[in-house]
Amino acid sequence: ADWNMESVMDTSCMFNECHALDTIDPSRWNTPNNTDMRLMFLGCHSLKELDLSSMNTQNVTTMEGLFESCGDLHTLILPERFVGPSVTSTRAMFNLCRALPTLDVTTWDMSSVEDTNHMFAECQALAPLDFSSWDLSRVTESEGMLDGWPNAPESIPGLAH
């Protein structure tokens, strides 16, 4: 979609509970002023592929529940450094993304994140991820972050339990 997104500051709940949404093309969205992506695709059960590679997320402060309950999502293309230095919450970001097979999280800046509760819970198809570059020193909430994820590591370096 050729939507002009440059002045949009809040995309929270934009497609929330769009259960039948099976396709959308945000591949050309430039979002330099967006600060809130909370619950943007929550409950988009039928969505199978999503290309967010052109989104500018460097000013986003919350990604809470961003892809939560996108149970059929199996292809997710994200820009490098998708999680930027302003993000404080990734709570339930991928919770119940049961079909998602892989993610590259190595360039994410997690240094300001405080809440990772249920971030990868029930990600049943997700391959092991490389968390070695993550700075999790500010995380105070991490309950259930890895619950129900068969390929989850036993622990994540730097994450206090």
Q: How confident is the model at residue 1 (pLDDT cuts 50, 70, 90)?
A: low
pLDDT digits (tens, 9 = 90+) for 9-55: 999 999 999 999 998 988 778 889 999 999 999 999 999 999 999 88
pLDDT digits (tens, 9 = 90+) for 80-107: 999 999 999 999 999 999 999 999 999 9
Average pLDDT score over residue span 109-136: 97
**If you search the block for the tokens 């991490």, which residue do you land on?**
142
- In contact, 134 and 107? CB cutoff 8 Å: no
DSSP 8-state code for residue 128: P
Q: CA 34, CA 4: separation in Å to the nearest integer?
A: 12
Residue-level pLDDT at 4: 84
pTM of the entire predicted model: 0.94
Q: CA 59, CA 44: separation in Å to the nearest integer?
A: 24
